[in-house]
Amino acid sequence: MAGTQGGLLCVQHNLLFAGGSHVSMISLTCVSLIAVPASIVSSALRRFHTIFQNMALKQISSNKCCEGFQKVFEHDSTELKCKMKFGIYLPPKAESGKCPVLYWLSGLTCNEQNFITKAAYHQVASELGIIVVAPDTSPRGCNIDGEEESWDFGTGAGFYVNATEDPWKTNYRMYSYIVEELPQLVNGNFPTDPDRISVFGHSMGGHGALVCALKNPGKYKSVSAFAPICNPIQCPWGQKAFGGYLGSDPSKWEAYDATHLVKTYSGSQLDILIDQGKDDQFLAAGQLLPDNFIAACTERKIPVVFRLQEGYDHSYFFITTFINDHIKHHAKYLNA
What's the confidence (pLDDT) of residue 16?
47
What's the confidence (pLDDT) of residue 43?
47
Tens digit of pLDDT for each residue in 286-335?
999 999 999 999 999 999 999 999 999 999 999 999 999 999 999 999 99
**What share of the chain has pLDDT > 90, as a percent?**
82
Contact status, residue 214 vs residue 258, Cβ threshold 8 Å: yes
CB-based burial, 59-68: b 16+ in 10 Å, e otherwise: eeebeebbeb
**Rounded mean pLDDT of 165-192?**
98
| 3-class secondary structure, 174 | helix
- Whether 161 has a pLDDT exceeding 50, the answer reads yes
The length of the chain, given as a count of residues: 336
Q: What is the dihedral sign for C-alpha 297, 298, 302, 305? A: positive
Tens digit of pLDDT for each residue in 6-51?
554 454 444 444 444 333 333 444 444 445 566 554 545 444 433 4
What's the confidence (pLDDT) of residue 17?
42
What's the confidence (pLDDT) of residue 48?
42
Contact status, residue 319 vs residue 107, Cβ threshold 8 Å: no
Give Cα 77 distance to the centre of its chain.
14
What's the confidence (pLDDT) of residue 281?
98
* Cα–Cα distance for residue pair 185/282, rounded to 1 Å: 34
DSSP category for residue 173 = B
What's the confidence (pLDDT) of residue 26?
39
What's the confidence (pLDDT) of residue 54?
44
Percent of residues in the chain assigned helix, strand, coil, to nearest 5:
35, 25, 35
271 part of the active site = no
Q: Which stretches within 91-203 are classed as H helix?
A: 112-118, 122-128, 174-176, 182-189
Which residues touch 117 (CB under 8 Å, ≥6 apart)? none
Give the chain's domains with CATH numbers: 1-54 (no CATH), 58-334 (3.40.50.1820)
Active-site pick, 75, 122, 207, 314: 314
280 part of the active site = yes
* Cα–Cα distance for residue pair 241/253, rounded to 1 Å: 10
Give Cα 270 distance to the centre of its chain.
18
Which residues touch 51 (CB under 8 Å, ≥6 apart)? none
Residue type at 89 in one-letter notation:
Y
Contact status, residue 69 vs residue 90, Cβ threshold 8 Å: yes
**Rounded mean pLDDT of 137-151?**
96
Strands of the chain (E only): list them: 2-5, 8-16, 23-27, 31-32, 58-65, 68-77, 82-90, 99-105, 131-135, 192-202, 223-226, 272-277, 304-309
Active-site pick, 280, 326, 329, 330: 280
207 part of the active site = no
DSSP-assigned letters across all residues of 64-102: EETTEEEEEEEEEETTTTEEEEEEEEE-GGGGTS-EEEE
As a whole number, the mean pLDDT across the chain is 89
Dihedral, 243, 246, 252, 257 alpha carbons, nearest 10: -80
What's the confidence (pLDDT) of residue 120?
98
Tens digit of pLDDT for each residue in 180-234?
999 999 999 999 999 999 999 999 999 999 999 999 999 999 999 999 999 999 9
Dihedral, 276, 277, 282, 286 alpha carbons, nearest 10: 50
What is the pLDDT confidence band of residue 158, given thresholds at 50, 70 and 90?
very high
Dihedral, 249, 250, 255, 259 alpha carbons, nearest 10: 180
What's the confidence (pLDDT) of residue 15?
44
Tens digit of pLDDT for each residue in 252-276?
999 999 999 999 999 999 989 999 9
